[in-house]
Amino acid sequence: MKKNVNWYAIYVKARHERKVLEALLRKEIECYLPLRTETRQWSDRKKEVEEPLIRGYLFVRINIRSYYDVLVIPGVISFVAFDQKPAVIPDYQIEDLKIFLRDGGKDIEVTNEHIQKGQLVQINEGPLKDVIGEVTELRGKKRILIRIKALGCLVLAELGVNQIERFTEDTPMPSAKK
């Protein structure tokens, strides 16, 4: 086991996670990019693809003296820091991420959104796609009761937070279905 090494999170440019990962590995810097398997639908086929669990982030395990070796890699923006010091991530948290992702991570969702009762949301997937409603109740992590004014009813939907987004005046209105 290496001495004085810790895990740190780094911010990377959008959609550069794999390129930065390859560059880190070429420099023999221990790193981890949590990936999950998603099913993507195209007009003619479905395909399983691996996508970063946390977009824009990668994890490196380094001695703090290697700090600048990481920062000079093209695509790296900065270290995640608190009080202007790189934030140390305990080993067990990285191991927990690896355990969560062992089966492909299909049931794991990561979001910065905080959905609350009374909030207007727009549904992004499924048979209710583009419907806008008010969250009236949260039942666990995947069940949301939504009041849909236009229908005059409440709908209990099994939706993950990745299937809805907050609706604001700036949210583009759904185009008319043809």
Q: Domain ranges in the chain?
A: 5-100, 120-166
- Return the pLDDT at 18: 97
Q: pTM of the predicted model, to two decimals?
A: 0.62
Name the β-bridge partners of 40.
Answer: 47
Please report which confidence band the pLDDT of residue 131 belongs to, taking 50, 70 and 90 as the band edges.
confident
- CA 25/CA 14 separation, integer angstroms: 19
pLDDT above 50 (res 16)? yes
Q: Is the pLDDT of residue 104 over 90?
A: no
Is pLDDT larger for residue 110 or for residue 100? 100
Nearest CA-CA partner of 163 in 111, 117, 119, 116: 111
**Residue with structure tokens 């420099």?**
27
Arithmetic mean of pLDDT, 165-176: 62
**Range in 65-69, 77-81, 97-101 the model is least confident about:** 97-101
**CATH code, 5-100:** 3.30.70.940
Cβ-Cβ contacts under 8 Å for 26 (sequence gap 6 or more): none
Q: What is the DSSP letter of 177?
A: P
Residue 178 pLDDT > 50:
no
Q: Which ranges in 75-148 belong to alpha helices (H)?
A: 91-100
Give the range with max mean pLDDT: 135-139, 158-162, 173-177. 135-139
Q: What is the largest CA-CA distance in the chain?
A: 63
